[in-house]
């Protein structure tokens, strides 16, 4: 009897290499990943959640359709596959009740014989509580979790740069908007953008939640900087039951943010504010050099 594929759930953190993780597995010959990275399935609770997810998926389909005509021929096959996958996922959402079996079947649809892994890499799952984390552990026969942690200041500034256009005022430069948003995050501002960024990088809170609600689950916590090495990529593949990729694309940047410099004054404030995240990460091994350098500057 052919064994059931491992089901990987990527828990985050945001801007910590989860897109690289998805691409690495999408390209791996032993994996079957559809062209959707983030399903947000475990956020679905009631009618309102389904309505929001349906609306967002329809918008994604429309955007994909608009892009298709302008794409070069070499990129069209992937784009068309993504549109088809989104349409298939939309059809499920429109039923108003997607079960774990439906979710699992959708991710495995089209998988060739011998497939070892399927995946849903949705960083925001790190924010979910006991009931939903428990549901994740039971959604397939062999569920494994990966949580990535990037150097906290670099992660925070990357996330802020990505979100800055959402708060940019008329006539304000993107750099000024990013610096203002970062200051809001550090100050604990109550507006949605600042809260969302703070929550998505709260390693200490995430890890405490995992210890409490994923007890006994198969969880790999890795530093992003370690993952993006030959040894780290091989460790990930072995954890997932895959043959290690002999030549992982370690230098490939996916969804890289706009290159804006972080002023030293703000960097110093960010380092101090992020101290709990450094403390929480230490229990997972020696901090990578990038972490140590930032920590030494902050806490010398």
- Structural domain boundaries in the chain: 6-38+116-299
Neighbours of 92 (CB within 10 A): 21
* pLDDT for 300: 47
6-38+116-299: which CATH topology?
Answer: Rossmann fold (3.40.50)
Given a contact cutoff of 8 angstroms between Cβ atoms, the answer to whether 18 and 10 are in contact is yes
Among 11, 7, 82, 37, residue whose Cα is nearest residue 254 = 37
Show pLDDT as tens, one digit a residue, over the chain (300 residues).
568 899 999 998 899 999 999 999 999 999 999 999 999 999 999 999 999 999 999 999 999 999 888 899 889 999 999 999 999 999 999 999 999 999 999 999 999 999 999 999 999 999 999 999 999 999 999 999 999 999 999 999 999 999 999 999 999 999 999 999 999 999 999 999 999 999 999 999 999 999 999 988 899 999 999 999 999 999 999 999 999 998 888 877 666 667 899 999 999 999 999 999 999 999 888 899 989 888 666 544
* pLDDT for 90: 98
Residues 6+ apart with CB under 8 A from 66: none
Residues in the chain: 300
Phi and psi dihedrals of 17, rounded to 5?
100, 15
* pLDDT for 74: 87
Angstrom distance (rounded) from CA 106 to CA 89: 8
How far, in Å, are 12, 176, 277, 294 from residue 272 at the CA level? 23, 21, 10, 10
Q: Write out the E strands in the chain.
A: 6-12, 117-121, 143-149, 218-223
167: helix, strand or coil: helix
* pLDDT for 256: 66
């Amino acid at each position: 009897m052919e064994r059931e594929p491992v089901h990987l759930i990527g828990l985050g953190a945001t801007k910590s290499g989860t897109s690289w993780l998805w691409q690495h597995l999408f390209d791996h010959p032993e994996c079957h990943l559809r062209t959707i990275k983030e399903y947000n399935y475990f956020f679905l609770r009631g009618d309102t959640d389904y309505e929001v997810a349906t609306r967002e998926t329809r918008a994604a389909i429309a955007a994909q359709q608009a892009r298709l005509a302008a794409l070069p021929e070499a990129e069209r096959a992937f784009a068309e596959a993504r549109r088809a996958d989104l349409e298939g996922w939309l059809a499920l959402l429109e039923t108003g009740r997607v079960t774990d079996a439906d979710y699992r079947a959708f991710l495995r649809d089209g998988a060739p014989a011998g497939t070892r892994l399927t995946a849903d890499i949705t960083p925001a799952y790190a924010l979910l509580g006991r009931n939903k984390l428990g549901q994740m552990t039971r959604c397939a026969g062999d569920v494994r979790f990966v949580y990535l942690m990037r150097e906290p200041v670099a992660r925070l500034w990357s996330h802020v740069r990505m979100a800055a256009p959402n708060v940019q005022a008329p006539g304000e430069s993107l750099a000024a908007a990013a610096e203002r948003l970062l200051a809001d995050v550090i100050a604990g501002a109550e507006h949605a953008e600042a809260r969302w960024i703070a929550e998505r990088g709260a390693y200490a809170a995430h890890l405490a939640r995992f210890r409490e609600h994923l007890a006994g689950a198969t969880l790999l916590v890795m530093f992003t900087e370690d993952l993006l090495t030959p040894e780290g990529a091989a460790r990930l593949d072995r954890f997932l039951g895959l043959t290690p990729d002999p030549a992982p694309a370690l230098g490939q940047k996916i969804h890289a943010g706009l290159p804006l410099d972080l002023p030293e004054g703000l960097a110093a404030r960010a380092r101090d504010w992020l101290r709990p995240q450094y403390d929480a990460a230490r229990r997972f091994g020696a901090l990578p050099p990038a972490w140590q350098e930032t920590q030494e500057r902050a806490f010398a």
